[in-house]
Structure formats: C-alpha cells, structure tokens
Copies of this chain bind each other. A is one copy, B any other.
Amino acid sequence: MKAAVVLLSGGVDSATTLAIARNEGFHCHAITFDYGQRHRFELESARMVAESMGVERHVTIPFDLRAIGGSALTDDIPVPRDQDPDSMGDQIPVTYVPARNTIFLSFALGWAEVLGAFDLYIGANAIDYSGYPDCRPEYIAAYENMANLATRAGVTGQDRFNIHAPLIEMSKADILRTGTRLGVDYALTTSCYDTAEDGAACGRCDACILRRKGFAEAGIPDPTRYVS
C-alpha cells in the first residue's frame, strides 16, 4: 500500500480530499499548519478528522505567518461579511494569504520525500474558492513540475511526485455529496473564519456562506451550529 501526504485544514474540502485519497488506496499521512490563523478552531477539527479517518500519522507544523501579515486571516484586517456568493470570485479576497498553499505544499513535499511517498493531496478548489491564485489548475501543474526538480526524485529520475487536487473543478455541493458517500463526518469539520468563543460559526463570512450554500444545494443537512 503506497503512502500519500494529505494537507488537512479541518474544513470541508480537506476532509473530503482525505477521504478520496484513502478511497484511492493510499496510506494517508495528514499534515496541518498552525500559522497564526485567526480561525484557530480548525486545528482541533483537523485533529478530530484525522482521527476519525484513521490516518497513519498526523503532524501539525507551527509557524507564524503574522510575521509577514498581509491577509485578513493573519493580520489586523476585518473578515468581510454578507458578501454575495455569486460575485466572490471576481477579485482576490482579503482572506487570501500570500503564498499559503505554496508554503503548505512545500512542507508536505519535504515530509513526503522523507517518507518515500510520491503522492500529495490538496483540497484546492477553483470554483467555490475562486479568486485565490493558488487554487488554479495551472498553479498545481507548475508546482508539480517544480517539485520534481526540487527533490532527490528530480536527480535520480526514478519516481515522480504527483500533486493531486481532486476537488479542483468540483462545486461545493459535489464535494459534499462525494464526501458523504465516502463516509466523511462533516460535523467534525469547521469552515468559519470568525468563530465565536463557544465554537459557533458566524454564518456571515465567505467560508460560512459557501458552506451553507453547498449543503443547501447538495440537499444534505448542515450539522454546523451558526450564530446567525
């Protein structure tokens, strides 16, 4: 059984991606990042999702992107509320974290190289989460090309890294249907950028709006507790 490294944030997309990787026959190693995100609640979700999916190992790498700033998720910039989901992708949102997926994939690549794994899974999504440059198929392809030159594999030519982004062209509703079929317990996941202290989701940030809309479109009950 081959090993894969799966980026796991604790949200809907990465939990579904983990279920897909497992279903494709991989021994899954999950990697989570504690990067100073304001929505720290997701770290506990990631732990619970990893446990519920029976991953081989789950590591959380701490670093602090607040040293760099530049995003509503890591800096003193308000999280937008009550935006129209149909126009969210028209521009790059202030919740975009510069180079975040690139940093995440790079740690995953290093770990994969140590494990002797050549398959990395990322829950990037170009449809619902549009507007993030690092969620586009051409970005994933360029990363894969770079990864194969960055590593021992690039020198020996014996193996090739594959960056899997199975959700990239899926709608949120499709993602939820797929995950439900594969046994994901979405009650363990969290999406909100601005969770209340008691753990309730705000219901008004982009992530909550897309989550709600996705569950509604999929016709699946949303197990999330929302403030409003």
Contacts and interface: CB of A to CB of B under 8 A. Distances in A.
Interface of A: 59, 61-65, 67-70, 92, 96-103, 106-107, 109-111, 113-114, 133-134, 136, 138-139, 142-143, 145-147, 149-152, 154-155
B107 A99 contact: yes
A97 to B, nearest CB: 8
A149 B99 CA distance: 10
The residue in A102, A134, A145, A150 that gathers the most chain B C-beta atoms within 10 A of its C-beta is A150
A145 B147 CA distance: 12
Contact of A99 (B101, B113, B134, B136): B113
Contact of A70 (B69, B114, B146, B147): B114
B67 A59 contact: yes
B98 A114 contact: yes
A103 B146 CA distance: 12
A65 to B, nearest CB: 7
Contact of A154 (B61, B106, B133): B133
B149 A146 contact: no
Contacts of A114: 68-70, 98
A151 B99 contact: yes
Contacts of A154: 133, 139
Nearest to A70: B114
Nearest to A143: B146
Given A62-B63, A106-B99, A142-B145, A68 B111 contact: yes
6 contacts: A62-B63, A99-B110, A99-B151, A100-B110, A102-B106, A102-B146
B109 A99 contact: yes
B63 A61 contact: yes
B146 A113 contact: no
